[in-house]
Amino acid sequence: MKEITLIIAGPRGNMGKEAVKLAEQTPHFKLLAVVDTKNEGKRLRDISDMPALDIPVYTDLEKCFTEQKPDVLIDLTSPESGRVHLELALDYGVRPVIGTTGFSQEDIERLRAKAEEKEVGAIIAPNFAIGAILMMKFAQTAARYMPDVEILEMHHDKKLDAPSGTAQKTAQLISEVREAKKQGHPEETEDLPGARGAEVEGMRIHSIRLPGLVAHQEVLFGGPGQTLTIRHDSINRASFMPGVRLSVETVLSLKTLVYGLEHIID
Ligand SMILES: NC(=O)C1=CN([C@@H]2O[C@H](COP(=O)(O)OP(=O)(O)OC[C@H]3O[C@@H](n4cnc5c(N)ncnc54)[C@H](O)[C@@H]3O)[C@@H](O)[C@H]2O)C=CC1
Ligand SMILES: O=C(O)C1=N[C@H](C(=O)O)C[C@H](O)C1
């Protein structure tokens, strides 16, 4: 297989560490450098807890792109940084694979237009885990028959964004197959603000944050006399890595921005 050269932004994070391991272990991936919030000028091997790789650490993504000229940027940072990094990658002709969450629908449409104008492929994957993609696909199918649905997403308490990217993507997929529908009692009141969760076209999303959790989601459907629950659990971050690998391999042949791995995994 042809070698693919990579930059990883966010290498010291939970996901970034796994992605560095993935790059090390995949024979046709070559990690050229990493982009961090600190450690400018160091080598990765000089940072505690990081693998002994003799590659440079940058804090300036533009400088990194100019000096390293990678094929692909993997971004696993924060919502604000992810947005800036994606735009910069498109400007430099580097294909972005963005696992970072917190993108709005407007962001995605604007960035897709830019990717198409530049003819640079890009992937934003709110969830790289195959089981989570299946959970979303199954939920979309179930919603055709059982349109009353609530989404419960549960994550570790270091997560910055709520609701999760996965919950928002799930709601989007469900809204593609059902009419907007106000759920619950038509006259229900929220006596404590937020009690009914966030609302997307009448669907409710509830976000739980607790130490001990990793990434979990239940999609609950209700109909007369029955309920259906579709649940996915990521119990560690290795669960996301096959999706990262597939995204890196696929983004090279794209000329647009793909939002969600369900468009890549048939
Ligand atoms: N798509 C998916 O399957 C998954 C996505 N995520 C998302 O990935 C992102 C990262 O998650 P975690 O690794 O758990 O977070 P984390 O907080 O453990 O790691 C984020 C890292 O990014 C670094 N960072 C922040 N801004 C940066 C910048 N401008 N340049 C370079 N590095 C920067 C931070 O210093 C930190 O080391 C989040 O948005 C999360 O929602 C997390 C798990 C799975
Ligand atoms: O922050 C996380 O951890 C995760 N974020 C993604 C999301 O917001 O959906 C994917 C997964 O749920 C883990």
- Which tokens belong to 91? 């400007």
| 24 pLDDT above the threshold of 90 | yes
CA distances from 100 to 74, 92, 103, 117 (A): 9, 19, 8, 23
Residue 156 in marked binding region: yes
Nearest residue by C-alpha to atom 37 in ligand 1: 13
- Which tokens belong to 233? 């659990």
- Which pLDDT tens digit goes with each residue over 185-216? 999 999 999 999 999 999 999 999 999 999 99
Query: CA neighbours within 13 Å on the CB side: how many for 50?
Result: 25
Q: If phi over 0 gives left and psi between -120 and 50 gives alpha, with beta otherwise, what is residue 99?
A: alpha
Which candidate in 17, 155, 169, 232 is catalytic?
A: 155
Q: Is 101 touching ligand 2 by the criterion CB < 6 Å?
A: yes
d(CA 141, CA 3): 38
Q: Is 155 touching ligand 2 by the criterion CB < 6 Å?
A: yes
Q: Is 58 touching ligand 1 by the criterion CB < 6 Å?
A: no
Q: Does the active-site annotation cover 159?
A: yes
What pLDDT score does 54 carry? Answer: 97
Q: Is 159 touching ligand 2 by the criterion CB < 6 Å?
A: yes
Residue 82 in marked binding region: no
Q: In angstroms, what is the span from residue 41 Cα to ligand 2's centroid?
A: 30
Nearest residue by C-alpha to atom 43 in ligand 1: 15
Residue 101 in marked binding region: yes
d(CA 38, CA 255): 33
d(CA 7, CA 239): 21
- Which pLDDT tens digit goes with each residue over 168-189? 999 999 999 999 999 999 999 9
| 18 pLDDT above the threshold of 90 | yes
**Which percentage of the chain shows pLDDT scores above 90?**
98
Residue carrying the six token digits 């971004």? 75
Burial of 49 (0-12, 13-18, 19+ CB in 10 A): exposed
| 266 pLDDT above the threshold of 90 | no
- Which pLDDT tens digit goes with each residue over 245-254? 999 999 999 9
State the chain's mean pLDDT as an integer.
97
What pLDDT score does 1 carry? Answer: 85
Q: Is 127 touching ligand 1 by the criterion CB < 6 Å?
A: yes
- Which pLDDT tens digit goes with each residue over 103-149? 999 999 999 999 999 999 999 999 999 999 999 999 999 999 999 99
- Which pLDDT tens digit goes with each residue over 53-81? 999 999 999 999 999 999 999 999 999 99
Cis peptide before 163 (omega within 30 of 0): yes
- Can you list the positions of beta strands (E) in the chain? 4-9, 29-35, 57-58, 72-75, 95-98, 122-124, 148-155, 198-200, 203-209, 215-223, 226-234, 257-259
This model of the complex carries an ipTM of: 0.99
Element (DSSP H or E) covering residue 32: strand 29-35
d(CA 162, CA 170): 14
Give the ligand 1 atom nearest the CA of 15.
13
Q: Is 217 touching ligand 1 by the criterion CB < 6 Å?
A: no
By three-state DSSP, how is residue 42 classified?
coil
Q: Taking each helix axis from N to C terminus, what angle separates 79-91 and 105-118, rounded to the nearest 10 degrees?
A: 20
Nearest residue by C-alpha to atom 4 in ligand 2: 215
d(CA 100, CA 80): 9
The count of other CB atoms within 10 Å of the CB of residue 100 is 28
CA distances from 201 to 72, 171, 181, 191 (A): 36, 9, 6, 21
Q: Does the active-site annotation cover 63?
A: no
